Amino acid sequence: MQFVSRPSSSGPLVWASIFAATCLLLFAFQKILWLVVPFLLACVIYYALYPLAQRLMLAGVSQEQAAAWVAGSFTLVLAGLLVLFSPWLTTKGVMLQELVDHYLDGGQEFLERTLSNIESTMPFFSNAHLSDKVHASLTSFTDNFAQAYLFPFLMTAASWLPSLLLAPLLSFFMLRDGQKFKRFLLQAVPNAFFERTLHLVHEVNQTAKAYFHGMMVLTVLDALTLGIGLWLLGMTSPLALGIITAVLAWVPFVGSVVGCILVVLVAATDFPTQPGMAYGAIGLFIVARMLDDFLYMPMTVGRKLKMHPLTTVLLIFIGGAIAGITGLMLVLPLAGIVMVFGQTIGGAMTDMRLRARHIHAVKLRRDIANRDL
Amino acid sequence: MSLFPRKKLTPHLQQLAQIPLFSTLSHAGLIVVEGLLHEREYVAGEVVFDEGEEAQALYIVLSGRVLISKQTSSGLQRIAELGPGQFFGDMALLDNSPRSAQARAAENCVLAAFFREDFIGLLETHAAIASKLSLQLARHLGNRLREALQARPFE
């Protein structure tokens, strides 16, 4: 029987389901972050290492051996770097509180100088004792910073360490058994939907790969933009600051604000007599943020996910509203994967022929089972 | 006695080695391909795929028989009946064109599906295996073309 199925486009119901499913998943993921974060990190490592494993396989090495070699080498390099930098890290760790206090004091002085300038030009602020009030709250903030923020942050980071160590192990198993897992999953799919599901699994893998590649390109673009900008401003260690702030930008919006504060603190402390440096850094961040949100992100991550730029921006807002920082970070990859699922399942469920074939196959199997009863 | 004795194929790999598409592959190549195949069981009368459907995979008959038929103006025309070792839906590996005929299990059968994207992946990871498969596929298509031309000579 000839049955020509038309390529169906997703309707509003499918899109509404995609948005609803993304929101629900974000809410659920927030509750199991201890598992989601190592898994995401494992995905990043997997997609970064997979080309290397592919090269080994191309040279004739089996998938199991390639996975073991690549994951083993990665772990060794990581351990080597840790051993190499541990003396430096220990020294810096001991000095961390001093360093943080130093830069916070620099930032505070910069803010107070700026406020004094404002008060001298605008008497209204002087009458309101703006500078005094801000000074009092800032002093209380910086005095309690280590106790209130730094130590809890370090404790949280330490408690995350064991689950983060799962990431290399997970990525090794992804490299080694990814194909077996795919076959295992597909065994549960009825014959009528088998080819569609094969395609779906492939598309999900492609979407995740595209997202993580997009994120890597975005990080490089961000680091270069900020690094070059800071270098033009004459800042110290522009590339290092660019890389740190680009990595912080993995958390949309919030990460960028933290990155901006970090660079302004460095500028205000290292160049106390040149307030122009700090203002320049703020200006650079505004430009970089606009480039990032409206050009780089839609052009890299958004384009890789085949998502409209407006949808990308809208999803970022929704993600932030539902699950805060976690939501901001997870919303795009999650929406990309849910989108592929939604479109494929929507297509399969609305395909009358596939459903009829499945019902027919079930009836045939039931007839066989009932034959001798 | 050889220094590197040839590894003995498992019954499953022996079965794969007898399929023309995989007959030129080495032991290691067969293991790689086996890892990519999806075994599916179909009952007699069950449709494997329809004519006009988007093609995603090639199927190899491991056991049982499969009927290939095509809708014509005079009704459903039977094109071929395939048995163990034969394969169908081979154009799926080469392009995105829709299925040119319907495949239906003539009796209870076990098929192995080979997904197009896995074949494309082989081109990137195991070029030697992929080129051997491509050559066998080209030979198979050449034979089919020759048979079609002999069946309907130029007018």
Distance between CA atoms of residues A332 and A344, nearest Å: 18
Measured between beta carbons, the chain B residues lying within 8 angstroms of A59 are none
The bridge status of strand B57-63 relative to strand B109-115 is antiparallel
Is residue A1 a part of any domain in this protein? no
Are A4 and B98 an interchain contact pair (Cβ–Cβ within 8 Å)? yes
Query: Residue A82: inside a domain, yes or no?
Result: yes
Q: Nearest CA to B101 among B137, B74, B77, B82?
A: B77
A198 to B56: CB separation less than 8 angstroms, yes or no: yes
Check residues B28 and A325 and name the one with the higher pLDDT: B28
The answer as to whether A124 is a domain residue is yes
Nearest to B40 among A4, A63, A194 (CB): A194
Q: What are phi and psi of B126, to 5 degrees?
A: -130, 75
pLDDT of residue A6: 45
Give the CA radius of gyration of chain B. 17
CA-based diameter of chain A, in Å? Answer: 100
Q: What pLDDT, on a 0 to 100 scale, did the predictor assign at position A315?
A: 83
Residue B54 is given by DSSP the state B
* Minimum CA–CA partner of A192 in chain B: B48
Let me know if residue A3 belongs to a domain. Answer: no
Q: How far is B46 from chain A (nearest CA, A)?
A: 6
Neighbours of A59 (CB within 10 A): 9
DSSP character for A165?
T
Helix (H, G, I), strand (E, B) or coil at B68: strand
Q: Which residues in chain B touch residue A179, judged by CB atoms under 8 angstroms apart? A: 35-36
Q: Mind giving me the DSSP string for A234-257?
A: T-SSHHHHHHHHHHHTTSTTHHHH
What is the rounded CA–CA span in Å between residue B148 and residue A360? 34
- Check: CB of residue B69 under 8 Å from CB of residue B38: no
Q: What is the mean pLDDT of residues B14-31?
A: 87
Does residue A161 form part of some domain?
no
What is the identity of the amino acid at A109? Answer: E
- Range picked from A118-127, B29-38, B106-115 for highest mean pLDDT: B106-115
pLDDT, averaged per 10 consecutive residues of chain A (373 residues), comes to 47 78 86 81 87 80 86 90 82 69 75 75 70 71 67 71 80 88 87 89 82 83 88 83 83 74 82 79 83 75 66 81 79 81 77 91 92 80
Residue B61 sits at the vertex; the CA angle it makes with B59 and B66, to the nearest 5 degrees, is 90
Q: Could you tell me the domains of chain B?
A: 14-24+39-147 (2.60.120.10)
Strand order in the sheet with B38-42: B38-42, B109-115, B57-63, B87-88
**DSSP reduced 3-state for B87:** strand
Query: Residue A203 falls within a domain, yes or no?
Result: yes
Residue B66 has phi, psi (to 5 degrees) of -125, 135
pLDDT of B69 reads 93
The answer to whether residues A269 and A107 touch, using CB atoms and an 8 Å cutoff, is yes
Return the axis-axis angle of helices A309-349 and A194-233, rounded to nearest 10°: 170
Which residues of B touch chain A, with CB atoms under 8 Å apart? 28, 31-32, 35-36, 38, 40, 42-57, 71, 76, 98, 102, 113, 115, 117, 124-127
The stretch B132-136 carries a mean pLDDT of: 91
Specify the 3-state DSSP secondary structure of A306. Answer: coil
Domain total in chain A: 1
In a domain, A93, yes or no: yes
Could you tell me the maximum CA-CA distance found in chain B, to the nearest angstrom? 63
- Give the closest of B47, B54, B125 to A357, CB-based: B47
Q: What is the pLDDT of residue B3?
A: 54
- Among chain A, residues having any CB pair with chain B shorter than 8 Å are 1-5, 7, 54, 57-58, 60, 62-63, 179-180, 183, 186, 191-192, 194-196, 198-199, 202, 353, 357, 360-361, 364-365, 368
In a domain, A74, yes or no: yes
Q: Give the confidence band of B113 by pLDDT, cuts at 50, 70, 90.
A: very high
Chain A residue numbers with beta carbons less than 8 Å from the beta carbon of B35 are: 63, 179-180
Query: Does B102 sit within 8 Å of A2, measured CB to CB?
Result: yes
Q: List chain B residues with CB under 8 Å of A2.
A: 50-52, 71, 102
Q: Which residue of chain B is at minimal alpha-carbon distance from A54? A: B125
Chain B partners within 8 Å of A369 (Cβ)? none
Domain that holds residue A85: 12-142+167-367
CA distances from A350 to A10, A11, A328, A342, A355 (A): 10, 11, 32, 12, 8
Q: What is the pLDDT of residue A96?
A: 66
